[in-house]
Amino acid sequence: MNDIHDRYDTFDPATVDHSMRWRWSMRRHGDEHARLDLVLGGGEDPDKALEERLKAALGAGWEPDCRRHEPTVRLPYGAPSSPARAHILDELERRLEAAGVRHACCVQAFPTGWLHIAMVLVDRLCRWVAEGDECTLDDVKEKYGTLRVHVYGSARVHDLADWCEEQSARRCMATGREGRTRDTGWVLTLSDAAYALHQRDHRTVERMMYPPREKADA
């Protein structure tokens, strides 16, 4: 089902841009097509003075819509195959433990479709701990179809947690394809194909997201 050939052995998390940028939006009351987005560059802080000037220039009827912290670059869609999940997560956990990141076992919660996000997370945490940052993974979980990474650390560590959540928002949990949230009884982010399969055979999709581990030989 997952024919995106973005395999684990060719994906390099070190080359991924993990920067975040701010998006500030205005909309005109009563006109759903009238909208203005101010998008800042990666690493730039919101400029409240500029926002006030824009509000004044737009005039009556315009109102703030949202302020959003989003990835500067969208991570390309794709994921390793489901059978590779256990090996990849075990390797990532070992790397975190070796780097001194506390509660490294939390990384085991990533579903197959979000493994590339996990690989970027681990790459950066290991690098930053080596540079002197302190980091503790408190929890990793899926909630309402998106990823939650609860972490204690520096400001850049918290920004990375935000980046992980935003990257998961339109990424199928089973295949890494482009997806959207679906109400299946649980809220899951699934591609069109994974959702169609889920409607016919939800257990297969669940095994794709979280494949059971092979039992060790006695």
Please write the tens of the pLDDT for every residue from 130-155: 999 989 999 999 999 999 999 999 99
> Which residues are CB-contacts of 3 (< 8 A; sequence separation ≥ 6)?
none
Helix (H) or strand (E) holding 162: helix 155-168
Please write the tens of the pLDDT for every residue from 83-102: 999 999 999 999 999 999 99
3-state DSSP assignment of residue 65: strand
| Residue 29 scores a pLDDT above 90 | no
| Residue 5 scores a pLDDT above 70 | no
| Domain range annotation of the chain | 21-71, 75-209
The share of the chain scoring above pLDDT 70, in percent, equals: 94
| Residue 76 scores a pLDDT above 80 | yes
For position 2, what pLDDT does the model report? 41
**How far apart are the C-alpha atoms of 178 and 159, rounded to whole Å?**
23
For position 8, what pLDDT does the model report? 53
Give the orientation angle of helix 202-209 with respect to helix 192-200, to 10 degrees.
Answer: 130
3-state DSSP helix/strand/coil % of the chain, to nearest 5: 40, 25, 35
Instruction: Specify the pTM.
Output: 0.85
Torsion of CA 112, 165, 98, 208, to 10 degrees: -10
Residue 150: CB atoms within 10 A of its CB come to: 14
